[in-house]
Amino acid sequence: MFKYLVKVMVFAAVPGVFAMDSLAVSAGSTVDALLVNAVTVERDEPVAVVFDPQRLNDETLPDYCLLTAQVVLDGEAVRITAQNLLCITEAQQVLEGTIEGEAFAANQAPVPFTCTLSRADACQSAVLAEELILQFRVQNDARLQPQR
């Protein structure tokens, strides 16, 4: 996470070019995102995680964005649900909004994880690898608004 904070601080020192009023994210859009740090999740105990979103549909997002999500180990699967998207534009403007969406691996495959503790053939603790790339399918129309 520290390396991303450094990127944001360096970026803030560069003069901006254009201001962006908002950023629209439509239902059905896909966001490709990279997990920032490895995370351990226990069965039925949600964990907050941070992703570095790379693309929105086929368009590049501003260089400095963070996507927060909630991870739940549920049965023999890991569910990841998007919650918030925050971006800093070239004009040093912070845009933020709530988005909802489930994460999948490539080709809509389940999220890959490593079970680290199993009881009665049920996974009790799992690890998601750092730099895991997932795709979120956005379920709501959302608009990232300027923050003051």
Q: Which tens digit of pLDDT belongs to each residue from 13-55?
A: 333 333 467 888 899 999 999 999 999 999 989 999 999 998 8
Interatomic CA distance for residues 99 and 144, integer angstroms: 9
Interatomic CA distance for residues 26 and 23, integer angstroms: 10
Which pLDDT belongs to residue 6?
31
Lookup: tokens for 14? 């560069």
Interatomic CA distance for residues 41 and 53, integer angstroms: 21
SS3 at position 54: strand
Interatomic CA distance for residues 43 and 117, integer angstroms: 10
Q: Which tens digit of pLDDT belongs to each residue from 90-120?
A: 888 999 999 999 999 988 899 999 999 999 8
Interatomic CA distance for residues 79 and 71, integer angstroms: 6
List the domains of the chain with CATH numbers: 2-11+30-141 (2.40.128)
* Beta carbons within 8 Å of 88's beta carbon, 6+ residues apart: 8, 11, 12, 62, 63, 64, 65, 94, 95
Spatial CA neighbour of 101 closest among 29, 46, 51: 29
- Enter the DSSP assignment of 47: E
> What does pTM read for this prediction?
0.80
